[in-house]
Chains A and B, each alone.
Chain A
Amino acid sequence: MIRLEFKIFRFDPHVDREPHYKKYTVRAEPWERLLDCLNRIRWEQDGTLSYRMSCAHGVCGSDGMKINGRCALACQKLVKDYQDAEVLLEPLPTFKVLKDLVVDLEPFFERVELVRPYLIATGSPEKERLQSPEERKKVDEVIRCILCACCTGACPVSNENPEFLGPATLVQAFRRIFDSRDEEQAERLKQLDYPDGVWGCVNHFECTRVCPKSIPVTKSINLMKREIEKG
């Protein structure tokens, strides 16, 4: 068992004037997840702590938060990698805090809707639409997106400019633009061709660094810029 010190952001806007930090000590096995530690804190020490979680293995995207300054999923980080320093847990930046580590993601999901994140194609073939493995490969990385909002939380542009579409939304746009079955590639690209669209990205690469699913987010955004430039 390892002894781990946590310092956790606490804020209940209905009660507190200002956020504060609270410290906790947890004993955990080296192979356990930071999420397991959070659960132990809530179950054994302080039932008032709030955070989201569900699948606990990096598929549902619920437990995005800032861990020692870096956006990540608490269920993907193991105790053994944090044994020498205090673990600082804070809510995802950019978003409004609803309670402790829980942020308001409604605007995030609403923004994804803007890029029409569904296939647009005419005709109804009897069987499947054909798509070559090479065509399908183009979306292989972006379909890993779990909408955890870590990239958008980490993006320096999104932090400063609430109008920027943000990396997650752009990944969702990419997913349809580079789907050979979609018939609105040109319109979709046009929709992104404005300063707060694809051009808002100035290659900080923070999104790519933090993505829990290893999606090359910045590269994907740059590919869309290139398509737009091609005209």
Chain B
Amino acid sequence: MIFKHDVVIVGSGLAGLRAALEVADGLDVALITKVYPTRSHSGAAQGGIGAALGNEEPDSWEWHMYDTVKGGDYLTDQDAAEVLATDAVRAIYELEHMGVPFNRTAEGRIAQRAFGGHTRNFGEAAVKRACYAADRTGRVILDTLHAEAGKRGIKAYSEFQLVDIIMNDEGVAGVAVYEIATGRLHVFHARAVLLATGGFGKVYKVTSNCFANTGDGVYLAYRCGIPLEDMEFVQFHPTGIYGLGVLITEAARGEGGVLRNRDGVRFMEQYAPTIKDLAPRDLVCRAMMKEIREGRGIDGRDFVHLDLTRLGKEKLADKLSDISSFAKIYLGLDVVTDPIPVSPTCHYMMGGIPTDIDGRVLNEKSEPVQGLYAAGESACISVHGANRLGCNSLVDLVVFGRRTGVKIRQELEQMNWKALPSDPEARVAQIIGRLKGKGKGETAARLRAEMQQIMTDRCSVFRNEKDLEAAMSEVKALKERYGEVTVDNHGDSFNSDLLEAMELESLLGIAETILLSASARHESRGAHFREDYPERDDENWLKHTLIRQTDRGPVISHKPVTITRFEPKARTY
């Protein structure tokens, strides 16, 4: 059927919810989510949300902005970083007023702790900037915003999966959506569409991301001819539980935990003498991998230890109880006495759908696309540049989620309903028909596993031309085999078999954009490290990558970085 709403927001994580709260008054807004809103992946964020409140020690937004720019290896657009750092403080008080149960200082103020790459006075020493609620900060903010949305009567369509973006020459007319409980296809006709569909860590084999993070919104935008920006910048988090990839928050090191190699050496002292274990994630991952490659992993194997034994029982129980329980459940370890085996896990995508600082999606000429907005991990503003700092994601979601909502409100008056094509869901209906077709073809599960292995082996913390070339031809072959995929399950109700087969199209498409963008960038910057081009090259590469689908296939172009306050310098910690 055809639903009609002024504004359709796809994704019910923090960005989508915060934007929804902004547009809800007086406007008809629909929130579409493939899960139930409180299951969104924002809820898995653990350690904190960054803002220079200065509750524990002196801090300033300029230091926060500087850290964000330097953390992003100067690829960060500085106008966006300034918005983030200045508005973060207001955003935290707003969350507190809504009821987020932050931990408190002895004076009753919001407690703060140290996090990777956040420093005082432009790099002097680590600073306590991350506001937190134990190690479930994302979850309590998600619950709070969700309750607020319920209070405002915002209509949520749970377990409705985005399957197409409907565009014409004027701009966006709406979206096509698959209802998971019934298997029905629906069209949501809207004047404005906000994509807040999150990341796509499921491109990789080992990831902290949930199963829902398949990048549907990002891929569908790309399919429609929207360029994607900086797709080569994939963040690996240093401390994933070995083998599983389950996240152990950076706050574990913020509270005093250290990484150790097989000899018990706190190796980060050599790689980042000033802030040591609290160096940014890209740097820590490379240090860990170097230790492992040189035979200093634990027992010579491919992991190191995260040692929290020096924190003491009380601190672990008060401030890090979730990760303590993860270690207990999945490894049978007591973090009070046992070190945790960890290795890098795919965690966050710096790249995504290009937007301005108000969430308007930009085309290849950097002009806004009528009626289309993006926020959160699916967007690339680019506020995180080549490497996001820990605790800057949650604050990005609420700051830019709100700004996007404000912009939608402003622009909606001039925005008309664009005509729907006569058969808006035809393309998807055809795909479903093919997937449910006869014959035992390829299985989506097998192809997905192969893709994840290829990406993990060839395009992770370290990259080089040979691996990237091989990966590109392997992924291309998988894309061809994707045409042969059929599903076992021909039912209409909760058909995960079918949904995952559809998601695989997104994952494969995105994997290709990551590889092409990574192959094109002949330098090392932030999370993108090329063994064959190990230095940062500002002269040639201080620019964003854009990749766009054309009749001739994917085409790469570039756009300049916005630099306002901080000229690029060598990046040491």
Contact = CB atoms under 8 A, between A and B. Distances in A.
Interface string A197-224: 0000000000000000010000000000
Contact of A42 (B136, B150, B325, B496): B496
A43 B151 contact: no
A57 interface: yes
Nearest to A40: B445
A109 to B, nearest CB: 7
Given A60-B43, A99-B493, A132-B106, 13 more contacts: A12-B493, A47-B489, A50-B493, A55-B39, A60-B38, A61-B39, A98-B493, A119-B97, A119-B98, A128-B110, A146-B38, A147-B143, A179-B101
Contact of B210 (A60, A128, A147): A60
A1 interface: no
Contact of A76 (B144, B329, B488): B329
B492 interface: yes
Given A12-B493, A14-B493, A132 B108 contact: yes
Interface string B217-231: 000000000000000
Nearest to A77: B329
A123 to B, nearest CB: 9
A139 B144 contact: no
A214 to B, nearest CB: 7
Contacts of A14: 491-493
A124 B97 contact: yes
Contacts of A179: 99, 101
B535 interface: no
B122 interface: no
Contact of A139 (B101, B109, B139): B101
Interface in B215-248: 243-244, 246-247
Interface stretch (A18-26, A82-90, A110-118, A159-167): A110-118
B493 A54 contact: no
Residue from B134, B244, B247 with most neighbouring chain A CB atoms (10 Å): B244
Contact of A144 (B41, B110, B136, B246): B136
Interface string B16-51: 000000000000000000011011110110000000
Residue from A62, A176, A214 with most neighbouring chain B CB atoms (10 Å): A62
Given A44-B445, A54-B35, A133 B93 contact: no
Contacts of B107: 130
Nearest to A126: B93
Interface residues of B, number: 62
A144 B101 CA distance: 11
Contacts of A228: none
Contact of B99 (A31, A50, A118): A118
B326 interface: yes
Contacts of A28: none
A59 interface: yes
A102 interface: yes
A128 B487 CA distance: 53
A102 B325 contact: no
A102 B494 contact: yes
B99 A119 contact: yes
B93 A55 contact: no
B566 interface: no
Given A128-B110, A130-B108, A60 B44 contact: yes
A21 B110 CA distance: 52
Interface in B427-485: 443, 445
Residue from A15, A55, A126, A135 with most neighbouring chain B CB atoms (10 Å): A55
A105 interface: yes
A201 to B, nearest CB: 23
Nearest to A141: B321
Contacts of A58: 325-326, 329
B212 A61 contact: no
Interface in A121-153: 121, 124-133, 135-136, 139-140, 143-144, 146-147
A57 B104 contact: no
Interface in B45-101: 92-93, 96-99, 101
Residue from B133, B487, B493 with most neighbouring chain A CB atoms (10 Å): B493
Residue from B39, B322, B443, B487 with most neighbouring chain A CB atoms (10 Å): B39
Given A50-B496, A117-B150, A133-B103, A59 B181 contact: no
B148 interface: yes
A139 B136 CA distance: 13
A105 B36 contact: yes
A49 to B, nearest CB: 8
B147 interface: yes
Contact of B491 (A12, A52, A133, A175): A12
B495 interface: yes
A67 interface: no
Given A98-B181, A136-B103, A179-B99, A60 B325 contact: no
Contacts of B244: 57
Contacts of A55: 39, 41, 43-44, 210-211
**Nearest 10 pairs between A and B by C-beta?**
A119-B99, A47-B488, A43-B445, A130-B108, A47-B497, A50-B494, A118-B147, A60-B39, A55-B210, A47-B489
A101 to B, nearest CB: 9
Given A12-B491, A61-B39, A133 B104 contact: yes
Contacts of B105: 133
A53 B497 contact: no
Contact of A56 (B40, B110, B211): B211
B511 interface: no
A54 B211 contact: yes
